[in-house]
Amino acid sequence: MKNCSKWRDMLILDYYGELTSRKARRLAHHLEHCPECRQAAERLSSQMGKIRTPRDDAPDEAFWAGFMSRLDQRIDGMEPSAKPAMRLLEHPRKWALAAAAMVLLILGGVAGHLLFPPGTPRPAAGINANSGFSGELGSHLDTIHPLMVDCSVSPPAEFAQSMTFSKPRIRNLLLRNRLLMRRAQEKNDAAALEMLGEIEMILLELSVPTRMDADRCGQVHDLVNRSDLVGRMDILRRRAVSPGGREARI
Amino acid sequence: MEVAATIADETVLIRRAAAGDRSAYTSLVEMHRNRVFFLARDLCGNSEDAEDLAQEVFVKLYRKLDSFKGSARLSTWLHRVTLNTYIDSRRSRAWKEKKQTDAWDPLHEQRGSYHPGSVTAPEAMALDNQVLGQVENALGSLSPRERAAFVLRHFRDTPVREIAGSMGVREGTVKSLLFRGVRKLQTALAHLEPPAGQEGAR
């Protein structure tokens, strides 16, 4: 079976005209020869066509009269441009919450100091030791997916210019990747371990502080495409339970 | 020339409103309320929540009048505040509780957000309403950020670059949100499509 996942991933951005002209040409060329992807493109177009453009019918005067009257009531007694501190005083509940947050912050600092005396290795941000491995893995793969698609699809020179992931972000992803590798090892999850290992090689290449030249971009491009990493990531992402599709916070 | 005059008028109105002139504030609201409300309605999917959201936006405007330096056009600022207020409110517990008790009711209102077309026959309207309900339910399954990205790109034809600016995120993040949002919608609306292989028979 042909693996077209990287082309399928591009269909959505192509539908909205958000692919670079070069990527769009490559996709068009693929569609000419792949009836399955062509059908997927047609299905996408038909489904999105059902979600139609909203009409901009303005509410009537009665609606706006009610709206303005309600707004007047809400701002009566308020000072325009109240300073943040004054706003808190106007809302005792917010004030109480802010005070509680401050107390928690202080208590957290003290507890952190007691639990992790200086020199103790700490779990990295973004990895909760108690949360499910498969959820963490899904979230991690969701975050990395657009980067890998870019590496896979863009020609090296173009990729070097259009990379949107910053170096610090890539280094954070690398750290997270390593922690997940350790957990995959503990869980004897060979498939996840293998994929995370491949991802690590790519992230390592991308995290080098010097500028990405065409050669290095070419190496990354080859690493991603040699074993259809994006396609296999999709399979693993489907397997993993991703928490709400929310982008993982690093 | 006309645009420059409008901006100058707006700057004067903002200054007067910040000094406590309520009629100047009312004029500002009247100038921008349609635009804010339409965006709010696309984001929320119904007029009631859109009205609440628009109210919040204009209260924020009132409170931040003196910090508004005019470096951004007021319309751009309101656009950004509408998006962020929507995302924050959807994350709140009150919204989640409300959504649990709300079920989509096709007779509740002739939804303004999605054009039902020009059909008049009751059966066609009922079918249209059914599709609209399914579309709205599918949109309801998106996260606030996914929905915001989708609404701006799909309904408003806003380029990804501008959406990224409004949401304060990178272009790659918007693409990822759009990608995930459309995938969820495709899954939710898959049953509306004829099974593969029958498309030619339509």
Can you give the residue ranges of every domain in chain A?
A: 5-48, 133-239
Alpha-helix runs per DSSP H in A18-60: 21-33, 35-50
> What pLDDT shows up at residue B112?
38
**Residue A146 near residue A248, CB atoms below 8 Å:** no
CB contact under 8 A, A54 and B63: no
pLDDT tens track for B122-145: 555 555 667 777 788 888 888 899
DSSP secondary structure of B105-124: -TTT---SSS---S--SHHH
Residue linked to tokens 């929320």 = B44
Token pair recorded at residue B63:
């409170």
CB contacts, 8 Å: B33 with chain A: 64, 67
Return all residues near B195 (Cβ < 8 A) that are at least 6 apart.
Answer: none
> What pLDDT shows up at residue B153?
93
A122 phi, psi to nearest 5 deg: -110, 150
Separation between Cα atoms, residue A203 and residue A197, nearest integer Å: 10
CB contact under 8 A, B155 and A78: no
> What pLDDT shows up at residue A234?
77
CB contact under 8 A, A54 and B38: yes
SS3 of A161, please? Answer: helix
Find, among A20, A230, A82, the residue nearest to B18 by Cα: A82
CATH 1.10.10.10 in chain B is located at 107-192
Pick A78's closest partner by Cβ from B62, B175, B183: B62
Disruptive mutation site among A7, A19, A20, A52 for chain B (greatest number of B CBs within 10 Å): A52
DSSP B192: G
In chain A, beta strands by DSSP E = none
Separation between Cα atoms, residue B30 and residue A52, nearest integer Å: 28
CB contact under 8 A, A54 and B112: yes
B121 to chain A nearest CA, in Å?
19
Separation between Cα atoms, residue B22 and residue B68, nearest integer Å: 17
Find, among B196, B162, B21, B169, the residue nearest to A75 by Cα: B21
Separation between Cα atoms, residue A223 and residue A156, nearest integer Å: 12
CB contact under 8 A, A12 and B183: yes
CATH 1.10.1740.10 in chain B is located at 1-92
What pLDDT band is residue B154 in, cutting at 50, 70 and 90?
very high
A202 phi, psi to nearest 5 deg: -70, -45
Find, among A32, A137, A144, the residue nearest to B172 by Cα: A144
Angle, to 10 degrees, between the axis of helix B160-167 and the axis of helix B74-91? 70
Which is more confident, B73 or A12? A12
Pick A78's closest partner by Cβ from B63, B143, B182: B63
DSSP A208: -
**Residue B47 near residue B41, CB atoms below 8 Å:** yes
> Which percentage of chain B shows pLDDT scores above 90?
35
CB contact under 8 A, B179 and A64: no
> What pLDDT shows up at residue A124?
45
Separation between Cα atoms, residue A6 and residue B61, nearest integer Å: 44
**Residue A63 near residue B38, CB atoms below 8 Å:** no
Token pair recorded at residue B171:
């272009």
Which range (A217-221, B47-51, B111-115) has the least confidence? B111-115
What pLDDT band is residue B118 in, cutting at 50, 70 and 90?
very low
Top-tier CATH class for B107-192: mainly alpha
CB contact under 8 A, B182 and A12: yes
CB contacts, 8 Å: B67 with chain A: 81
Disruptive mutation site among A16, A36, A144, A153 for chain B (greatest number of B CBs within 10 Å): A16
B94 to chain A nearest CA, in Å?
15
What pLDDT band is residue B119 in, cutting at 50, 70 and 90?
very low
CB contacts, 8 Å: A51 with chain B: 114, 135, 139, 154, 185, 189
CB contact under 8 A, A147 and B172: yes
CB contacts, 8 Å: B17 with chain A: 80
Nearest residue of B to residue A58, measured between CA atoms: B34
CB contact under 8 A, A80 and B25: yes
CB contact under 8 A, A59 and B37: yes
What pLDDT band is residue B57 in, cutting at 50, 70 and 90?
very high
**Alpha carbon of residue B83 to chain centroid:** 7
CB contact under 8 A, A81 and B18: yes
CB contacts, 8 Å: B65 with chain A: 80-81
CB contacts, 8 Å: A53 with chain B: 115, 155
Supply the CATH classification number for the domain B1-92.
1.10.1740.10
Is the predicted pLDDT of residue B67 greater than 50, yes or no? yes
> What pLDDT shows up at residue A126?
44
CB contacts, 8 Å: B113 with chain A: 54
Alpha-carbon dihedral of residues A121, A122, A127, A132, nearest 10 degrees? 80
CB contact under 8 A, A247 and B176: yes
Token pair recorded at residue A14:
């192509």
Pick A54's closest partner by Cβ from B146, B155, B179: B155
pLDDT tens track for B12-39: 888 888 888 899 999 999 999 999 999 9
- CA-CA-CA-CA torsion sign (A134, A140, A144, A146): positive
Separation between Cα atoms, residue A134 and residue A140, nearest integer Å: 10
pLDDT tens track for A94-130: 677 878 888 888 888 888 777 666 654 444 444 444 4
Provide the residue-wise pLDDT of chain A in tens; the chain has 250 residues.
457 888 888 999 999 999 988 999 999 999 999 999 999 999 999 888 888 765 557 788 899 999 999 999 998 877 776 555 555 555 566 677 878 888 888 888 888 777 666 654 444 444 444 457 888 888 888 888 888 877 776 665 566 656 667 778 888 888 888 888 888 888 888 888 888 888 888 888 787 766 666 666 777 777 777 667 777 787 777 776 544 444 333 2
Separation between Cα atoms, residue A33 and residue B127, nearest integer Å: 37
